[in-house]
Amino acid sequence: MRVVAHTASVSAMTDFVNTSPGEPSVICGCSINGLASLLAWWPLAETISGLCPSQVHINGRLTFTITPRDRDKETCYPPETLPKDHAAVLVCCGPGYNGGDGLVCARHLKLFGYKPSIFYPKLSNKPLFQSLRAQCEQMDMPFLSFFPSEAHLIADSYNLVVDAIFGHNYKGPATPEFASILEKLKLIHTDVPVCSIDIPSGWDVDSGCEDGLQPELLISLLAPKKCATMFRGKYHFLGGRCVPRSLEQKYNFCLPPYPGTDTIVELKMVPPPGE
């Protein structure tokens, strides 16, 4: 499968809902408002130097730099290149807000020409999630009543798997219901690309998970979490251009600028000093 960066699909996965309660409360709500505005492209690529603010720091340490992208050349999983069943994608949604992000992602994937099916085993009774589920149903997206029993069935049927099971509030170990799903995702990630939203499911927000799921694409939301330094996949994007300066200062974030009206930027790891 040709795997190149396609900003449209990445953008789709980067859109997310205004979710978690509590601080920080000024979260998200970014919506897809036209592909052009969502292309992660740095117009002054040649001028990027090692200077902040084209860098992301975690715990005061330089960790990522912005990667200039060429919007004409780079694409990431464009639907027309996905051979199985009209760009079929499986979107796996967990019980919390990360799962809510998955439902929003599915909605946009459908609008962008993919064929998403959703696995959402634990519907929350919060109105937000009920509404998101209803929206997906109204858009004729099938909800799987059970997770495919064999990992190879997923790889046979889907071109991509979106992992929106757990995000930054996962506390391991997983309950048996979700543990078996995480195990299957781990088995398939060599056969079908897995795209994780915010945090690869099953990872600890700080320490990650050494033998855990290894997605090919990670979309960090608002700011990369500490565990993102352990991400070894191909593509890492930051989305969620809605952190006010005051909050950035309060929490000592050092976030990259989003060029123009873009709502995502691609990040690349900076090797620790001496490596």
Ligand X SMILES: NC(=O)C1=CN([C@@H]2O[C@H](COP(=O)(O)OP(=O)(O)OC[C@H]3O[C@@H](n4cnc5c(N)ncnc54)[C@H](O)[C@@H]3O)[C@@H](O)[C@H]2O)[C@@H](O)CC1
Site membership for ligand X, residue 256 (CB under 6 A) = no
Rounded-to-integer distance, Cα 12 and Cα 220, Å: 13
Q: Which residues pair with 238 in a beta bridge?
A: 220, 265
Rounded-to-integer distance, Cα 211 and Cα 192, Å: 18
Q: Which is nearer to ligand X, 242 or 254 (CB)?
A: 242
| Sequence-separated (6 or more) residues with CB below 8 Å from residue 145 | none
Q: Which of 14, 54, 63, 98 binds ligand X (CB under 6 A)?
A: 98
Q: Looking up tokens 């290149």, which residue turns up? A: 81
| Sequence-separated (6 or more) residues with CB below 8 Å from residue 49 | none
Site membership for ligand X, residue 242 (CB under 6 A) = no
Look up residue 67 and give its two tokens.
Answer: 């990667």
Site membership for ligand X, residue 16 (CB under 6 A) = yes
Residue nearest to ligand X (CB): 167
Torsion 25-240-89-35 (CA) sign: positive
| Closest approach of ligand X to the CB of residue 181, in Å | 10
Q: Which is nearer to ligand X, 42 or 166 (CB)?
A: 166
Stretch that binds ligand X, among 53-61, 196-204, 211-219, 230-238 (CB under 6 A): 196-204
Site membership for ligand X, residue 174 (CB under 6 A) = yes
Rounded-to-integer distance, Cα 14 and Cα 262, Å: 11
Site membership for ligand X, residue 199 (CB under 6 A) = yes
- Summary count for the chain: helices (H), strands (E): 6, 12
Name the E strands within the chain. Answer: 5-6, 55-58, 61-66, 75-76, 88-93, 115-119, 143-144, 160-164, 194-197, 217-221, 235-239, 264-269
Q: Which of 148, 167, 193, 259 binds ligand X (CB under 6 A)?
A: 167
| Closest approach of ligand X to the CB of residue 80, in Å | 28
Site membership for ligand X, residue 97 (CB under 6 A) = yes
Site membership for ligand X, residue 200 (CB under 6 A) = no
Stretch that binds ligand X, among 70-78, 135-143, 184-192, 195-203 (CB under 6 A): 195-203
Q: Which of 42, 77, 158, 166 binds ligand X (CB under 6 A)?
A: 166
Look up residue 225 and give its two tokens.
Answer: 């979490």
Site membership for ligand X, residue 92 (CB under 6 A) = no
Q: Which of 171, 246, 274, 275 binds ligand X (CB under 6 A)?
A: 171
What is the H or E stretch that residue 127 is in?
helix 127-138
Site membership for ligand X, residue 212 (CB under 6 A) = no
Q: Which of 31, 33, 169, 207 binds ligand X (CB under 6 A)?
A: 169
Site membership for ligand X, residue 208 (CB under 6 A) = no
Helix/strand/coil for 71: coil
Q: Which of 64, 114, 120, 170 binds ligand X (CB under 6 A)?
A: 170
Site membership for ligand X, residue 198 (CB under 6 A) = yes
Residues that bind ligand X (CB under 6 A): 16-17, 19-20, 24, 27-28, 94-98, 101, 166-175, 178, 197-199, 221-222, 240
